[in-house]
Structure 1
Amino acid sequence: MLRLAKPEAPWYYWRDSALYLHIYLQPRASKNEITGVHEDCLKVRLTAPPIEGRANLALLKYLAHCFKVAERQVTLVKGEQSRKKWIRIDSPRDLSLINT
């Protein structure tokens, strides 16, 4: 079971140099975008369908782009078949998304 440290916001927390994000994923959207907070999660809309893990892969790639890290630094920790997911980002370089 995932143990949570005290969060900085309801949808993220830090553990050492890793950033953990609680994501609410909406697949098959009209465009890829982050729309804000939904049910204590960061809501991400993606055009990819939730078939054969395509939406999960698109989410990892999109978050790697947003935080300016390599795709191998973004990991799905929990929620492979759920809309709510925990994502780990190792040493994110761009923190503008969480500093707003």
Structure 2
Amino acid sequence: MRLAVRLTPKGGRDQIVGWARDDAGRAYLKVRVAAPPVDGAANAALIALIAKTLGRPRSAVTLAAGAGARLKMLDIEGLDEAALAAALGQP
């Protein structure tokens, strides 16, 4: 499954803020992490937080696009829509 995430680095703490929609109506998950956007630290913190929240191993969550951007695409192995909704609510 592919998940769109808008990441805020240096956000004070690691937290999933909730769902939002862009101007085109596409849903994305708003996430903040305490790590700075240096040497991939914020991306690593994002992957760890998403994996922990969804009950998946870190190796099941990969950054598919957006390594240097705020809007990122994550690929999550072994996750379906129902499990995503159960863990994070409806988009």
| TM tier, smaller | 0.7 to 0.9
Aligned Cα root-mean-square deviation (Å): 1.7
User: Is 30-39 or 43-52 further displaced after alignment?
Assistant: 30-39
For 1:91 and 1:57, locate their aligned partners in 2 and report how far apart those are by CA, in whole Å: 20
User: Match of 1:70?
Assistant: 57
Choose the corresponding residue for 1:97, options 81, 87, 90.
87
The residue that corresponds to 2:29 in the other structure is 42
Tell me: higher relative CO, structure 1 or 2? Use CA pairs within 8 A at least 6 residues apart: 2
The gaps in structure 1 that reach 5 residues or longer are: 1-18
Q: Aligned runs of 1:1-100 on 2, under 5 Å?
A: 19-38=1-20, 39=22, 40-92=27-79, 94-95=83-84, 96-100=86-90
- Give the Å deviation of 1:92: 3.1
The sequence identity of aligned pairs, in percent, is 32
Q: Secondary structure at the match of 1:97?
A: helix
Distance, in Å, in 2 between the alignment partners of 1:29 and 1:79 is 18
How far apart are the structure 2 equivalents of 1:32 and 1:98?
Answer: 15
Normalised by the length of structure 1, the TM-score is 0.74
In 2, Cα distance between the equivalents of 1:97 and 1:24?
A: 18
SS of the aligned residue for 2:3 comes to strand
Structure with the bigger percentage of helix: 2
User: Where in structure 2 are there 5+ consecutive unaligned residues?
Assistant: none
Cα offset for 1:37?
Answer: 2.4
- Cα distance in 2 for residues equivalent to 1:63 and 1:54: 14
Query: Which letter maps to 1:53?
Result: G
